[in-house]
Amino acid sequence: MKKVLITGAAGFLGSHLCDKFIKEGFKVIGMDNLITGDLKNIEHLFKLDTFEFYHHDVSKFVHIPGDLDYILHFASPASPIDYLKIPIQTLKVGSLGTHNLLGLAKAKGARLLIASTSEVYGDPLVHPQTEEYYGNVNTIGPRGVYDEAKRFQESMTMAYHRFHGLETRIVRIFNTYGPRMRLNDGRVIPAFIGQALRGEDLTVFGDGSQTRSFCYVDDQIEGIYSLLMSDYVEPVNIGNPYEISILDFVQEIIKLTGTQQKIIFKPLPKDDPMQRQPDITKAKTILGWEPKVDRKEGMRLTYDYFKSLSENELKKSEHKDFTSHNRK
Ligand code: UDP
């Protein structure tokens, strides 16, 4: 039985990856320090012999007994509100954490896939973003802690590949959504749905002309799995190229939820990218992958998930305005 270590296992993408690898017949070791992750996301796996969980911070030395075939490094705060709140941990998990896992992969002869991000492109001057674009990142801005940690992570990974011949893969993940997103993580989809469910006004940042392209989680997981199993070493964008402005998107949310609340405009957070759309030519040609779930269907599934949460969780998730200490 092949063995895989998944870091960030209790998080949104990490927990879905655990499910995927269990389904594919792997022995899965999940690791998380639970700063932003939630055990609720993987509770259903604890009864399985093929699943094991380590409560550990990957920024510290990582030890796994026995063989290891694959490592997927998905531990990191990943929403702007999180990395503003815990900037140092964000830098450490992307840099020190990655270094520890590269060392572990080398010692075990395992293949390592790291979760990179469209944030390496910053506020992009090339549209849509191809993997060849080097990006436009403000190193010292509030998002710099995430963006630069991820850029360093990519450099370090390629260095281990070139210098040590380590088998590595790099996925650049574009905005992804679905069940198990945290209702209070500040991201636009849980923010809007949470506001609709609590009967609050919907907060659009800036004038809403900025664009994003949202990928449903099942598609994202399939893309990551195909990349891990492929022979391709350089970064690959995985995301859904169907782009929409935040203003058009909030209208879709109003229609989906039937909320009677109004839209209110708040200042645009500093360095908030004005446009984002993945060029997925590489994923299509090299992996034979493309997204299958359209936004209408994906949003319906996501809304159903958020509706199923208890009143208590909904109350706890009240939207926090983080734009005031983050203005242009
Ligand atoms: N956004 C918004 N209202 C909110 C939360 C986010 O208008 O309550 C905007 C945000 O400014 C950004 C877009 O939605 O332009 C996507 O934000 P998110 O935090 O989901 O992801 P990212 O900026 O990392 O793509």
Domain containing residue 312: 183-213+241-276+293-316
Over range 113-119, report the average pLDDT.
Answer: 98
Nearest to 218 by CA among 236, 238, 234, 204: 238
Atom of ligand 1 nearest to the CA of 192: 8
Give CA–CA dist 152/253, Å, rounded. Answer: 36
Atom of ligand 1 nearest to the CA of 189: 20
Ligand 1 lining (C-beta closer than 6 Å): 79-80, 175, 186-188, 191, 203-205, 210, 212, 246, 268-269, 272
Residue 325 located in a structural domain: no
Same domain (yes/no): 45, 107: yes
Q: What is the pLDDT of residue 326?
A: 52
Together in a domain, 22 and 158: yes
pLDDT at 317: 78
On the question of pLDDT at 327 being above 50, the answer is no
pTM (two decimals)? 0.96
Q: Is the pLDDT score of 318 beyond 80?
A: no
Same domain, 224 and 259: no
Domain count, the chain: 2
Question: Of the candidates 99, 67, 235, which has an alpha carbon nearest to the alpha carbon of residue 164?
Answer: 99
* pLDDT tens readout for residues 264-302: 999 999 999 999 999 999 999 999 999 999 999 999 999
Same domain, 148 and 188: no
Q: Which amino acid is at 210?
A: Q
Residues 219 and 198 in one domain: no
CATH number of the domain where residue 247 is located: 3.90.25.10
The candidate with the shortest Cα–Cα distance to 294, out of 233, 222, 240, is 240
Report yes or no on 209 lying in a domain.
yes
